[in-house]
Chain A
Amino acid sequence: MWQKSNIVSYRHFRTARRGLLVGGIQLGFCGLLAWRMHHLQVEKAESFRLVADENRINLRLIPNQRGEIYDRNGVKLAGNEASYSVTMVAEDAGDIDLILERLSKLINLSPEDIERSKAELEQSAKFLPVTILDRLERDDIEKIAFNAPMLPGINPEIAFSRTYPLGEIFAHVVGYVGPVSTRDLELRKDPDPLLRIPRFQIGKVGIERELETTLRGKAGTKKVEVNALGRVMREIERKEGSKGANLKLTLDTNLQAYVRARLGNESASVVVMDCNSGEILAICSSPAYDPNKFVRGISFNDYGILRDDNHRPLASKTVQDAYPPGSTFKMVTILAALEAGIINHREKIRCNGHVEVSNRKFHCWKRDGHGNVDLIKSLRESCDVYYYELAQQVGIEKIAEVARILGLGQSFDIEMSAVTSGIVPDKLWKLSARSREWVVGDTVNSSIGQGYVLASPLQLAVMIARIATGNEILPRLIESINGVKADEETSKLKLNKNNLNLVRKALFEVTNDKRGTAYDSRVLNKKSQIIGKSGTSQVRNISAVERTLGVLENKDLPWEQRDHALFVNYAPYDDPKIAVSVVVEHGGSGSTVAAPIARDITLQAIYQGTPPITAYPVEDRAKIYNQQRELKKLMPRTTKSSKVQA
């Protein structure tokens, strides 16, 4: 029965042959698989193991806290407040649109937020977390945590956000922080990886910007093992970062708040300095803005309002704007003449109300003239003609030299943004800046702080402080960094002591002599008497035609064409402590607008609080009393309670 036909055995033979062939192919393929295994697992093992480690080990930054900023008494000006935020890691999320849509059902996510998040997610590396929304409520965070399985890549986080408890009072000094922009990265060329974290906040203006690296500190790093979803499985290594340095400023919150309140809505700026140390006690530009709005991301509308305001709330006028100093420059001209030995205090010059120089009429502010004018009278009554004559003899070079000695025409190394150097013109300057020869008329204009001369309120404060003390005072804003004080040195000015005394005596009469231009702003109390000089600087040319028709009163002019009102002063006379400069843009007359402000602020600084009403002249007391009450209401109440040890 087992005898097979030929066909059967042939068939079997063929099946066996082909079976062997197929089996051979199969075994051959297994050989290929084995070779491939060996190739991948043994020959290339090293490189793959490395990739596997990279896969699982992730270096993450631990953002550190930014340094805090305090005033001289330990009042917090800039701090960090814990806030909740949600971040998304694109790599882990997968379908970003879907996840964002789910998230928007849980928390209040505006279409703009979604748009912005998407843009940021696209820009930044896939493994970096991008903040979707910050300043969330605890409830929101709990909702997100509860729905975590539905939201891969979404992580709730506690972050610290910058706050400025005193709001707009310190806006221009302290500045604010904001998210790093690509422009910031280009400008700074800072390799700190922290800056690459999307929406990481860095200082944008003011001290926050100028001392950015000091305040930022150093980020910590941690190596973590993550799984494919980006979930951290364990921490392998941790290096703590260091907190940014705490700053203590020379500013006094009480005084600053007073100044801010006193300026109200004027477009004005005030600098208050300690005459002897150069410490800035208050530096205030008005109007201001709330820096907290910028940290949160200011709306386009709000920003537009700030930008388009003709009072320029965004400008830090105290340091970045330079004004024609007007009559406050006269001390420079006098000192130059005295130093050059051209005049002495007895010499008199006749003032007829105008003087003709190179066929051009230069007018004194007093149309009828001052008559015979000596040095004291020239400052006291601010006679222009006296200076026109003096300047022609002294020459611009000497005036410029003294101006620089007194601190004009140079930008001080102060931790604020866009500190201007102003202009102290001389022949060389005009040739390079205006490509024109210097003419005598320029000297005449410069002698009374008009023409090309420009000075910032900070420079004016330094000038008056230097005149008051005879020392080369330099302004300082930082008292200490992390408790370490910067050393200070002051040297004597290269000016004759007697000449300075003479100027001081003349300045005394400006505010304390019945004939003085700022007599109305005198202080009765000897210990706080102010010594200063007013200035009213023109911002437009008055044509000859206009003069014959009668010069228009300031109040009849549009705001932009009115004169700037300036006042610089120090106090008290014997032992100068405080130097103040006030500039009220388009405020009108220096003696009637700027001087009263300067007086109030000086008294506030000397008494370190509300001055006694008796310091004021009797006729002003009723008005001052009301004013003090009004201003007290405007002062922040938090000032005292927020006091903590720095």
Chain B
Amino acid sequence: MSYLEYRVKTIPVGWRKILFMNWGLTALIIGAAFSGFAMLISVAGGNIEPWALSQMQRFSIGLLTMFIIAMTPIWIWRNVSVPIYMLSIVLLLLVEFLGSTGMGAKRWINLGFINLQPSEVAKIALIMLLAAYYDWLPADKVSKPIWVIVPIAFISLPVLLVLQQPDLGTSLLLLLSGATVIFLAGVHWVYFGTVIAFTVGFVIALFKSRGTEWQLFQDYQFSRIDTFLNPDSDPLGAGYHISQSKIALGSGGWTGRGYMEGTQSRLNFLPEKHTDFIFTTIAEELGFIGTISILAIYVGIMIFCLHSALRHRERFSSLLTLGLTMTFFLFFAVNMSMVMGLAPVVGVPLPLISYGGSAMLVLMGAFGLIQSAHVHRPRGST
């Protein structure tokens, strides 16, 4: 147990921990959240109701959560990663049986005070488990086939359960972030080469299967792919989201139409304007300046995380931070790509900005873990 080898002096304790938090990261997170509040007020036509206020409350809870997690020693988190993973699997199973249906998929579970999305919890739990797994696994065994199959099983379980809901977007995110951790752990290239080859083969099979009896995807998923590939073919039907969001984006120009002046979102041309498509409102109202600023904030968050991760000497901290960074990156990259017509429409919110409690809390939890790893990093004797 490497953590036990730490000299007490090198790790901050008590209230001093607060000083060692990654304050730059915290500031950027708060900045992103406040941009989110501003945009939520704008899409509500200048009103704090119905979105901005509850988003603020959630963010406050999220911030508190982050602090609590950050103050908890990182090795505690490592030690509970297995139970957390198991809990998330149980939740995923629960949602399968008694989850409520929304938008054609069973994703939510009502915990009384919050509608929890277990797939969000699974994202973090999976990264934690994988990081803990590789922390435990001796380095020379990493590329042994038997030790590669184990993490693949860890990933497959939640991925398949989420796919069952059905939520293709989230399951792909789980798969990608999990694979990233395996990759970062140093598993041999050959495995990845094989997987990529198989993936390509699968995609080809997927398209071949369309319309046959052994069709691998649901029709709605095919239609999403279709409209993604050619959104103009059906601008009022399935391609509506993409076309309208591209119009909103494009009409922003350099400086946008001005705060609260966006016609596309205010006139309801945009779907999901307060959740998955909030980026389009930013684009229309604040223009290129606004969107590039948001991107800059995200990149800043990422760089803080990467910087912190590369300085960790402990595998768990390092892999956990890098894996969670990947999760965060996938959130905003997929959302922006989708809005800008680079990816099909999958239900992925813009992190910290989109309206939504579950995603916000889980994300803040993830940042809490990153902060915890940062705070509890052994430093030279000070």
Cα distance A18–B263 when bound, in Å?
45
Give the residues in chain B near A53, CB-CB below 8 Å.
Answer: 263
Report if B246 contacts A (CB, 8 A). yes
List A58-97 residues whose CB lies under 8 Å from chain B.
Answer: 91
Contact B288 A38 (CB under 8 A): yes
Contact B186 A18 (CB under 8 A): yes
Contact A226 B267 (CB under 8 A): yes
Report if B375 contacts A (CB, 8 A). no
Report if A44 contacts B (CB, 8 A). yes
Report if A525 contacts B (CB, 8 A). no
With both chains docked as a complex, state the minimum distance between the C-beta of A21 and any C-beta of chain B, in angstroms: 9
Report if B77 contacts A (CB, 8 A). no
The answer to whether A55 and B264 touch (CB under 8 A), given A36-B340, A37-B288, A48-B250, is yes
Q: Which of A55, A126, A225, A227 has the most CB of B within 10 A?
A: A55
Tell which of B139, B253, B322, B325 touches A11, judged by Cβ atoms closer than 8 Å: B139
Measured CB to CB, the nearest residue on chain A to B140 is A7
Cα distance A33–B350 when bound, in Å?
14
The answer to whether A48 and B302 touch (CB under 8 A), given A38-B288, A40-B340, A56-B269, is no
Give the residues in chain B near A225, CB-CB below 8 Å.
Answer: 263, 267
Measured CB to CB, the nearest residue on chain B to A233 is B267
Contact A22 B336 (CB under 8 A): no
Contact B291 A29 (CB under 8 A): no
Report if A439 contacts B (CB, 8 A). no
Give the residues in chain B near A4, CB-CB below 8 Å.
Answer: 313
Contact A55 B247 (CB under 8 A): yes
With both chains docked as a complex, state the minimum distance between the C-beta of A1 and any C-beta of chain B, in angstroms: 5
The answer to whether A20 and B333 touch (CB under 8 A), given A1-B5, A41-B254, is no
Contact B183 A56 (CB under 8 A): no
Report if B248 contacts A (CB, 8 A). yes
Report if A27 contacts B (CB, 8 A). yes
Give the residues in chain B near A11, CB-CB below 8 Å.
Answer: 139, 186, 315
Give the residues in chain B near A185, CB-CB below 8 Å.
Answer: none
Contact B184 A37 (CB under 8 A): no
With both chains docked as a complex, state the minimum distance between the C-beta of B349 and any C-beta of chain A, in angstroms: 16
Report if B132 contacts A (CB, 8 A). no
Contact A56 B267 (CB under 8 A): yes
Give the residues in chain A near B287, CB-CB below 8 Å.
Answer: 41
Report if A632 contacts B (CB, 8 A). no
Give the residues in chain A near B298, CB-CB below 8 Å.
Answer: 30
The answer to whether A52 and B248 touch (CB under 8 A), given A19-B322, A26-B302, A228-B268, is yes
Report if A264 contacts B (CB, 8 A). no
With both chains docked as a complex, state the minimum distance between the C-beta of A392 and any C-beta of chain B, in angstroms: 79
Contact A227 B268 (CB under 8 A): yes
Give the residues in chain B near A10, CB-CB below 8 Å.
Answer: 139
Measured CB to CB, the nearest residue on chain A to B333 is A29
Cα distance A247–B378 when bound, in Å?
99
- Interface residue SS majority, chain A: helix
Q: Which of A10, A14, A44, A228 has the most CB of B within 10 A?
A: A228
1/0 contact trace for B243-264 toward A, CB 8 Å?
0101111111110000000011
Cα distance A10–B186 when bound, in Å?
10
Contact B254 A15 (CB under 8 A): no
Report if A47 contacts B (CB, 8 A). yes
Cα distance A414–B26 when bound, in Å?
88
Contact A41 B183 (CB under 8 A): no
Contact B267 A22 (CB under 8 A): no
Q: Which of B183, B303, B310 has the most CB of A within 10 A?
A: B310
Tell which of B6, B253, B267, B269 touches A41, judged by Cβ atoms closer than 8 Å: B253
Report if B329 contacts A (CB, 8 A). yes
Q: Which of B6, B185, B249, B298 has the most CB of A within 10 A?
A: B249
Cα distance A391–B340 when bound, in Å?
92
Cα distance A26–B326 when bound, in Å?
8
Contact B139 A42 (CB under 8 A): no
Give the residues in chain A near B225, CB-CB below 8 Å.
Answer: none
Contact B340 A45 (CB under 8 A): no
Count A-side interface residues using an 8 Å CB cutoff.
46
List B99-117 residues whose CB lies under 8 Å from chain A.
Answer: none
Give the residues in chain B near A48, CB-CB below 8 Å.
Answer: 246-247, 249-251
Report if B281 contacts A (CB, 8 A). no
Give the residues in chain B near A29, CB-CB below 8 Å.
Answer: 329, 333
Report if A34 contacts B (CB, 8 A). yes
Contact A41 B288 (CB under 8 A): yes
With both chains docked as a complex, state the minimum distance between the C-beta of B35 and any C-beta of chain A, in angstroms: 15
Cα distance A34–B290 when bound, in Å?
12
Measured CB to CB, the nearest residue on chain A to B337 is A33
Give the residues in chain B near A52, CB-CB below 8 Å.
Answer: 247-248, 250-251, 263-264, 284
Cα distance A2–B319 when bound, in Å?
19
Cα distance A19–B321 when bound, in Å?
10
With both chains docked as a complex, state the minimum distance between the C-beta of B308 and any C-beta of chain A, in angstroms: 11
Report if A357 contacts B (CB, 8 A). no
Report if B148 contacts A (CB, 8 A). no
Tell which of B184, B236, B302, B329 touches A18, judged by Cβ atoms closer than 8 Å: B184
Cα distance A51–B263 when bound, in Å?
12
Cα distance A225–B261 when bound, in Å?
14
Report if B292 contacts A (CB, 8 A). yes
Tell which of B183, B266, B270, B295 touches A34, judged by Cβ atoms closer than 8 Å: B295
Report if B208 contacts A (CB, 8 A). no
Tell which of B180, B291, B329, B333 touches A37, judged by Cβ atoms closer than 8 Å: B291
Cα distance A53–B251 when bound, in Å?
9
The answer to whether A15 and B185 touch (CB under 8 A), given A56-B269, A228-B268, is yes
Report if A16 contacts B (CB, 8 A). yes
Cα distance A464–B291 when bound, in Å?
88
Report if B299 contacts A (CB, 8 A). yes
Contact B267 A33 (CB under 8 A): no
List B311-328 residues whose CB lies under 8 Å from chain A.
Answer: 313, 315, 318-319, 322, 325-326
Report if B66 contacts A (CB, 8 A). no
Give the residues in chain A near B342, CB-CB below 8 Å.
Answer: 33, 36
Report if B283 contacts A (CB, 8 A). yes
Measured CB to CB, the nearest residue on chain B to A1 is B5
Measured CB to CB, the nearest residue on chain B to A91 is B236
With both chains docked as a complex, state the minimum distance between the C-beta of B230 and any C-beta of chain A, in angstroms: 17
Report if A494 contacts B (CB, 8 A). no
Report if B70 contacts A (CB, 8 A). no
Contact B295 A7 (CB under 8 A): no
Report if B306 contacts A (CB, 8 A). yes
Measured CB to CB, the nearest residue on chain B to A4 is B313
Cα distance A40–B263 when bound, in Å?
17
Cα distance A42–B287 when bound, in Å?
9
Contact B139 A7 (CB under 8 A): yes
Give the residues in chain B near A34, CB-CB below 8 Å.
Answer: 292, 295
Cα distance A56–B284 when bound, in Å?
14
Give the residues in chain B near A12, CB-CB below 8 Å.
Answer: 313, 315, 318
The answer to whether A41 and B249 touch (CB under 8 A), given A26-B329, A30-B298, is yes
Give the residues in chain A near B140, CB-CB below 8 Å.
Answer: 7
Contact A56 B313 (CB under 8 A): no
The answer to whether A15 and B318 touch (CB under 8 A), given A7-B139, A20-B310, A42-B253, is yes
Give the residues in chain B near A49, CB-CB below 8 Å.
Answer: 250-251, 253
Contact B336 A41 (CB under 8 A): no
Tell which of B180, B247, B250, B284 touches A22, judged by Cβ atoms closer than 8 Å: B180
The answer to whether A15 and B302 touch (CB under 8 A), given A40-B246, A51-B251, is no
Contact B306 A41 (CB under 8 A): no
11 CB < 8 A contacts A-B? A2-B378, A7-B140, A11-B139, A23-B302, A26-B333, A29-B329, A30-B295, A33-B295, A34-B292, A36-B342, A41-B250
Closest 10 CB pairs between A and B? Answer: A48-B250, A227-B267, A52-B251, A45-B253, A41-B288, A49-B251, A228-B269, A228-B268, A23-B306, A227-B268
A-B contact sample (9 more), CB < 8 A, given A1-B5, A14-B186, A34-B295:
A10-B139, A15-B184, A15-B185, A22-B183, A30-B295, A38-B292, A41-B254, A91-B236, A225-B267
